[in-house]
Structure 1
Amino acid sequence: MQDHGSSPLKRRLQIVDLARKSDAVKVEALSALFGVSTVTIRNDLNYLEQQGYVVRTFGRARYNPALLNAVPQPQESRATPAAPLLSLVAGAALHWIADGMALFLGGGALVHRLLPQLVGKPGLALTLHDLSMVATARQFLSCEIHVTGGAHSDDEPGLIGPAAELGLRSHPVDLCVIEVSGIDARGRILSQFAGAARLYAAAVRHCSKAISLARGLDAGAGFGHPVCGVGELDAFVVHHDIEAGVFDLLAEHQLRVDRKAGGVLEFRKA
């Protein structure tokens, strides 16, 4: 991926964000991601280490653990399921993924949890737009990785815009997995982010099959930006603590409960 003229400061801020979201970042992976030399990346990491943002080790860097302890982390809502259950929701996508598949994985913490679980799936080809997920994929997986390209925005979880949509469509994709924030009264799944919603809408149209993952849902809440109709999905996975109205909306659009295990519900197109 080319850096498209972004400033060293912007690149360094993105490196800090990647390091904060993963165990460590590798020099070679960052070089490929930003389209700059490994010498440039090492200079970036040296600067960030001097400023106290990262701790260097051979060939990689990790987020300074002192900052994790010093800066209060945002508290999740009581209604948000615990981390192990979130991993189960993400892992429910695994039985849709066969060896050698081409996947588009949207951004967000929930889909991010799916990446390490793909270790046992050889021959995958991933298309990603979330830069932190690119770094994680390079660490955990030996597979083909495509980055959509596109514009970076501080308000979005990944690369967006027409260039991102073009990058998505430049490769065949068997399955897209996206994280959603809700369902509106018209039966449309929603993304919290406007740019991501447009990209995910393009992904649903481009891919052979599409599934969505959600932490929890309120039916008809209308919070977010529409991606596609529920009926355009092949499956919808969510933890079990959802209101009755969600069942009614999904049933109205021909999605029925297919599996229920470990606190996770999977709705599949009837």
Structure 2
Amino acid sequence: MNVRHQNIIQLVSERGSVSVSELSQITGVSEVTVRQDLNVLEKGGFLRRVHGSAVAPESDDVGARMRTRYAVKKRLAEHAASLVNAGEAVFIEGGSTNALLARELSERRDITIITVSHYIAGLLRETGGEVIILGGLYQKSSESVVGPLTRLCIQHLNFHKVFIGIDGWDALTGFTGRNMLRCDVVNALMAKNTHTIALTDSSKFGQIHPYPLAPEHPFSHVITDTDLPDTCKEILQAQGLRLDIIGPV
């Protein structure tokens, strides 16, 4: 692996997604050379190629994903935490930005946090507030629970807000996910008819995954960063979603 390859890996890891044209400008080589580099790095598992860009490799390891675009995700988590009011019960579903949200809320003694993520529950072990973790089939890779028992638990609980991580969004497909059982849990949450918030960095927009998220119960609210393309912003706003675009401090 040469120095250029190392620089590309670092850029993609930090930003989550970088276009071929931008990589060409940064590295000072042609787009043809960049595409050849990306082919090599994709075969090595260092990144993925989608729609003329390189994106960080997908992983169910929440800790590893938290390190990708950490500064951006932390700003999103801080904003999301500011929306949680005293006395509320909030459901934090899963994902790296949601894990950072849990950290932001860990000192709050005036709220109840509900989650399917054992990883998130671990971050809250020193919290002063109540923590409820649901039962179900334990997915070791993501450290979350899924399945019929998890759905049953959701049906018997009430909460004020739900923060959900997404894997992709496209104008044609809407919000999508990579894992069928996790998407089933999300759809059960969306059916509760409460305030549902997609908390995600902008690298997920433009990606398509196999399983639809909440096709019958659209999100109320999206929190993302300023790298969201204008075309995506216009479509989301036209659909009536509240859209919070969080920029650098």
**Residue 255 to residue 187, structure 1, CA distance change in 2 (3 Å):** farther
Partner residue in 2 for 1:110: 97
Mapped pair 1:227 → 2:222: no
- Which of 145, 168, 180 matches 1:182? 168
Mapped pair 1:238 → 2:238: no
Mapping for residues 150-169 of structure 1, pairs under 5 Å: 150-169=136-155
Mapping for residues 8-87 of structure 1, pairs under 5 Å: 77-80=13-16, 82-87=69-74
Counterparts of 2:73 and 2:189 in 1: how far apart (Å)? 23
1:3-58 CA distances to partner (integer Å, 9 max, x unpaired)?
xxxxxxxxxxxxxxxxxxxxxxxxxxxxxxxxxxxxxxxxxxxxxxxxxxxxxxxx
Superposition RMSD in Å: 2.6
Counterparts of 2:108 and 2:241 in 1: how far apart (Å)? 27
Counterparts of 1:117 and 1:156 in 2: how far apart (Å)? 21
Cα deviation for residue 248 of structure 1 reads 2.9
Cα deviation for residue 229 of structure 1 reads 4.7
Partner residue in 1 for 2:197: 211
Counterparts of 1:125 and 1:154 in 2: how far apart (Å)? 25
Determine if contact 2:222/2:244 at 8 Å carries over to the other structure: no
Which runs of no fewer than 5 residues in structure 2 stay unpaired? 1-8, 17-67
Cα deviation for residue 254 of structure 1 reads 1.5
Cα deviation for residue 257 of structure 1 reads 4.4
Partner residue in 2 for 1:11: none
Determine if contact 1:105/1:111 at 8 Å carries over to the other structure: yes
Counterparts of 2:98 and 2:175 in 1: how far apart (Å)? 16
With normalisation by structure 1, the TM-score equals 0.62
Cα deviation for residue 116 of structure 1 reads 2.1
Determine if contact 2:106/2:124 at 8 Å carries over to the other structure: no
Which runs of no fewer than 5 residues in structure 1 stay unpaired? 1-73, 264-270
**Residue 167 to residue 84, structure 1, CA distance change in 2 (3 Å):** same
Mapping for residues 120-135 of structure 1, pairs under 5 Å: 120-135=107-122
Cα deviation for residue 171 of structure 1 reads 1.7
**One-letter code of the match for 1:262?**
P
- Which of 65, 84, 91 matches 2:78? 91
Counterparts of 1:213 and 1:255 in 2: how far apart (Å)? 13
Cα deviation for residue 78 of structure 1 reads 4.7
Cα deviation for residue 99 of structure 1 reads 0.9
Cα deviation for residue 122 of structure 1 reads 2.8
With normalisation by structure 2, the TM-score equals 0.67
Structure 1 runs of 4+ with >6 Å offset:
none
**Residue 219 to residue 94, structure 1, CA distance change in 2 (3 Å):** closer
- Which of 129, 132, 137 matches 1:143? 129
Partner residue in 1 for 2:233: 247
Counterparts of 1:243 and 1:171 in 2: how far apart (Å)? 36
Partner residue in 2 for 1:194: 180
Counterparts of 2:178 and 2:184 in 1: how far apart (Å)? 11
The number of residues matched between the two structures is 189
Counterparts of 2:152 and 2:217 in 1: how far apart (Å)? 25
